[in-house]
Amino acid sequence: MPPEPLICTVDLVLLTLQAGQLQVLLLKRDREPFAGALALPGGYVHTGEDQSCEDAALRVLQDKAGLQGLYLEQLATFSGPGRDPRGWSVSVAYLAVVDAGTLDAQGAPVRAAHWRPVDRLPALPFDHGRIIATAVERVRGKSLYSSLPAHLCPAPFTLPELQAVYEAVLGETVNHVSFRRKMGELDCLDAVPGGKRADGAHRPAQLYRLKQEFRQRLRLVGRGLKA
Amino acid sequence: MPPEPLICTVDLVLLTLQAGQLQVLLLKRDREPFAGALALPGGYVHTGEDQSCEDAALRVLQDKAGLQGLYLEQLATFSGPGRDPRGWSVSVAYLAVVDAGTLDAQGAPVRAAHWRPVDRLPALPFDHGRIIATAVERVRGKSLYSSLPAHLCPAPFTLPELQAVYEAVLGETVNHVSFRRKMGELDCLDAVPGGKRADGAHRPAQLYRLKQEFRQRLRLVGRGLKA
DNA sequence: CGAATAGTGTCTGTGAGACATTATCTT
DNA sequence: AAGATAATGTCTCACAGACACTATTCG
């Protein structure tokens, strides 16, 4: 029995932190269906070019947002007869995370694009609302026990800055002593030699960067940030 | 631009516990490619019939193993030009878990099928070895902080029996006091009224069942079984 | 010197694991 | 009664959070 034809795409949930809120990149669709509407960046898998769906997601990230070298992970696959008016479809969704500094440096195509706070989204085509909700849940969950939020923080950063990012993502305050202890155990940060940030009438803070080996993957912690 | 044709299938990693080991169901393929070889059960998505890939996985589970009502979750999606000799393919993989009792009761078609211990697998076609490795990693990971292993234990079961299942999956012993405390906190078990198992010259153990509401989903625990 | 934030030392409460004890069955 | 395993009580150690204190800058 030959396979029945269906539509296979990748969709990308690109998240960043702006104004203390998680924001998602939405692009104006330039073709049907839903031409002109805001939706997640995505596209067909190019079987002649891509070596995997992850490759397709990286290509979408590069072509539609001009970004590369980001943290990227497979989120989940969404499917069904009704989610795309063209017919039965499968979308492999990916989660990517970018910090404001990287966005300024290499994200020219989307710097002025449509970033929307994930907690106040308009109605979206396809099942993109559900895909984003899944992505946000994943990010909040992983923030409890991994270095993921560091990818949302422009490097170099101070520990208080990084803590503020964790707090923005988690939506609650974090004990600063525990936070420092945890970051020490995680052992995923390099202190910038001699690097300090003095931004006021107070003791300046040490600057850090993610260690090279964790730029594109996460460091997990044993027991988590909070009980 | 119309979509480029590709192959879309679902694959099912069905795990059970036999002889104290995680075992995976392999079936002899009845068609090309790899006809006659052992591989994961799977099949094309039937766009006329399935409402989602999960539906397709449930259908495969029913048609090829005669099983229903199991714990099932999406595992990940595997893709690329080389994993299937028919061409560029996408496989949405699902993880299902069954206990020996359910298998005896309704798993007639596969009771005598090919169950293989996940730690000593033969070479498998496609990328099924990698898919199984991902599934096992998921199960072991979730066993640290969820009720998943209870789906591997024929009901009704005693706490010592359930603990033995956790230990078999995790590959290490668990403190029995902590284990009981954790199961109490999880609050996912119902004591069978008056149910005891006396299997020797000693105090009989209380029998339990998974609470109805957790038969097809998991209960997660805060800090995990071990530090 | 005071204000402000960075960073550290130390206490305490909670929870996991170890050990000991009690409970309840068979032979 | 002896032996075996189930189930529970209690001690201890480790870790997360709270609080207090020191450090370093600017004005």
CA dist B50 and B44 (Å) reads 10
Strand D within 7 A of B139 CB: no
Is A113 a member of any domain?
A: yes
Percent of chain A with pLDDT over 70: 96
Is B223 a member of any domain?
A: no
pLDDT at residue B109 tops 80:
no
pLDDT at residue B37 tops 90:
yes
pLDDT at residue B225 tops 70:
no
- The stretch B148-164 carries a mean pLDDT of 96
Nearest to A143 by CA among A15, A13, A12: A15
Task: Could you list the beta-strand ranges (E) of chain A.
Answer: 7-18, 21-28, 38-39, 42-44, 71-80, 89-97, 114-117, 157-158, 189-197, 205-210
At position B215, the amino acid (one-letter code) is: R
Nearest to A222 among B1, B92, B227 (CB): B227
- Beta bridge partner(s), residue A96: A14, A72
A63 and A156 co-located in one domain = no
Boundary-marking domain end, from A125, A142, A159: A142
Q: Residues B155, B210: contact at Cβ < 8 Å?
A: yes
At position A118, the amino acid (one-letter code) is: V
CA dist A159 and A157 (Å) reads 7
pLDDT at residue B55 tops 90:
yes
Is A176 a member of any domain?
A: yes
A130 and A19 co-located in one domain = yes
Tell me: the pLDDT tens digits for A25-47? 999 999 989 999 999 999 999 99
Rg (CA), chain B: 19
Is A2 a member of any domain?
A: no
Which chain A residues are within 8 Å of B54, Cβ to Cβ? 79
Q: What is the pLDDT of residue A1?
A: 59
B76 and B166 co-located in one domain = no
A210 and A133 co-located in one domain = no
CA-to-C1' distance for A203 and C6, Å? Answer: 6
Q: Hey, how many other C-beta atoms are within 10 angstroms of the C-beta on B98?
A: 24
Nearest to A12 by CA among A48, A47, A46, A43: A43
pLDDT at residue B220 tops 90:
no
Q: Which residues of A make CB contacts under 8 Å with B?
A: 1, 3-9, 44-48, 51-54, 74, 76-77, 79-81, 87-88, 90, 92, 222-224, 227
Q: Which residue is nearest to nucleotide C9 (CA to C1')?
A: A177
Is B110 a member of any domain?
A: yes
Q: What is the pLDDT of residue A124?
A: 98
A126 and A14 co-located in one domain = yes
Edge-to-edge order in the sheet of strand A157-158: A157-158, A205-210, A189-197
CA dist A106 and A118 (Å) reads 23
CA dist A66 and B190 (Å) reads 55
- The stretch A103-122 carries a mean pLDDT of 87
Our count of domains for chain B comes to 2
Tell me: the pLDDT tens digits for B209-218? 999 999 888 8
Boundary-marking domain end, from A79, A109, A142: A142
B122 and B170 co-located in one domain = no
Q: Which residues of B make CB contacts under 8 Å with A?
A: 1, 3-9, 44-48, 51-54, 74, 76-77, 79-81, 87-88, 90, 92, 222-224, 227
Q: Cβ A6–B4 below 8 Å, yes or no? A: no
Is A17 a member of any domain?
A: yes
B206 and B188 co-located in one domain = yes
Q: Cβ B88–A45 below 8 Å, yes or no? A: yes
Percent of chain B with pLDDT over 70: 96
CATH number of the domain at A203, please. Answer: 1.10.10.10
- The stretch B109-127 carries a mean pLDDT of 91
Which residues, 6+ apart, have CB-to-CB distance to A136 below 8 Å? A15, A22, A118
- The stretch B176-202 carries a mean pLDDT of 89
B22 and B133 co-located in one domain = yes
Which chain B residues are within 8 Å of A5, Cβ to Cβ? 5, 47
Q: Residues B26, B15: contact at Cβ < 8 Å?
A: no
A136 and A161 co-located in one domain = no
Q: Which contiguous run of DSSP H or E holds residue A63? A: helix A53-65
Which residues, 6+ apart, have CB-to-CB distance to A224 below 8 Å? A144, A145, B223
CA-to-C1' distance for B155 and D5, Å? Answer: 20
Q: How many residues does chain A have?
A: 227
Is A115 a member of any domain?
A: yes
Tell me: the pLDDT tens digits for A5-26? 899 999 999 999 999 999 999 9
Range of the domain at A118: 7-142
A102 and A63 co-located in one domain = yes
Q: What is the pLDDT of residue A220?
A: 79
Nearest to A4 among B46, B53, B87 (CB): B46
CA-to-C1' distance for B172 and C9, Å? Answer: 37
Q: Which residue is nearest to nucleotide C16 (CA to C1')?
A: B178
Nearest to A176 by CA among A160, A191, A154: A160
Tell me: the pLDDT tens digits for A115-174? 999 999 999 999 999 999 999 999 999 998 899 999 999 999 999 999 999 999 999 999
B interface mutation test: which of A53, A79, A91, A142 has the most B CBs within 10 A?
A79
B47 and B92 co-located in one domain = yes
CATH number of the domain at B42, please. Answer: 3.90.79.10
Cis peptide leading into residue A154 (ω within 30°): no
A207 and A189 co-located in one domain = yes
Average pLDDT in chain B:
92
pLDDT at residue B72 tops 90:
yes
- The stretch B2-30 carries a mean pLDDT of 93
Is A131 a member of any domain?
A: yes
Least confident interval from A147-156, B50-59, B104-113, B156-165: B104-113
| Phi, psi dihedral angles at B52 (to 5 degrees) | -175, 170
Average pLDDT in chain A:
92
Boundary-marking domain end, from A142, A162, A187: A142
> Which nucleotide does the CA of B201 lie closest to, via C1'?
C26
Which chain A residues are within 8 Å of B83, Cβ to Cβ? none
Percent of chain B with pLDDT over 90: 82
